[in-house]
Amino acid sequence: MGSPQPYPGVSGPGGDSVLAAELATEGTALWALGQHDAALQTLQRMEGLLPNDPKVQLNMWLAAYYADPGASLDALSEQLAVWLDAHKQPPGEPSSPAYTAAAINYGILLFVQQQHAKALAVLEPLYSDVEAIHGGAALCLCVLLLEVYLGSGQLPKAAQVAQLVEQQGGQLSGMDLPALLHLYKARLAIACCNHKAAKKEVRALLVLQPSSPVALLLKSQLEVLRQQPKKALKALGPLLAAISECTPSTT
């Protein structure tokens, strides 16, 4: 799973809203370019216009973390945990977009720290009402849950999420969905030792992404499990060749 991501969008009255929207666009571009210091400065200007906007506060924490090489992951996790506790939605009410984004980012941090039980405690309540979440955020939530379930060996639950993603594909957006499905179905089949199903999914993934490092690694992993070491090395051939081309010559 990827790193925590900023939540786009601002809200505000009148001219402040227009300027804040311009700053949001600038900050998003700076973030995409990896210029986290500049993105943080832009967010600080936005905070002056929209001091009570939760999205601005959340994005500032993320930008500050990435702008400081010595920043503590634990400190960022604590900030998000406190914020989520203070903004928890009443039972029966859908989560706000800002709360959803913060919860997903917090879940990513917990997953990175291998705190699977805590991650599920945050993510599963969101997933219970996944239909009410915007398509891109819903897909991020599902992908993160797949990672946590696979990482913690909860394969039946991982299969249920994969099935929902496949069924709701038209309502989910933001990633290469067909390739994503083949990827997770292959990983799930490998984890279940279903080599026939895994081979089918890996082959389909390679059709869509023939040079994908992840697909090549999965194919090699599958051949190892099938006790075919020569085929495993052969599957890694294109990846090893690409690595060799990127390695500086010592002569």
Mean pLDDT is lowest, of 24-33, 96-105, 115-124, 220-229, for 24-33
pLDDT band at 135 (very low <50, low <70, confident <90, very high): confident
Block residue for tokens 């052969």: 234
User: Of 54, 52, 30, which Cα lies nearest the Cα of 41?
Assistant: 30
Q: How far, in Å, CA of 116 to CA of 13, rounded?
A: 41
Residue-level pLDDT at 152? 95
Mean pLDDT is lowest, of 2-16, 105-119, 151-165, for 2-16
Burial classification of residue 246, based on how many CB atoms lie within 10 Å of its CB (0-12 exposed, 13-18 middle, 19 or more buried): exposed
Q: How far, in Å, CA of 7 to CA of 211, rounded?
A: 31
Residues 226, 190: contact at Cβ < 8 Å? no
Residue-level pLDDT at 91? 77
Residues 236, 216: contact at Cβ < 8 Å? yes
Tokens linked to 3: 């790193």
Q: How far, in Å, CA of 7 to CA of 28, rounded?
A: 9
On the CB side of 125, CA atoms within 13 Å amount to 18
Give residue-wise pLDDT tens across range 28-59. Answer: 788 777 788 888 888 888 888 877 778 788 88
Q: How far, in Å, CA of 112 to CA of 141, rounded?
A: 15
Consecutive H or E run containing 195: helix 195-208
Give residue-wise pLDDT tens across range 159-187. Answer: 999 999 998 876 776 678 899 999 999 99
Report domain extents, the chain: 177-251
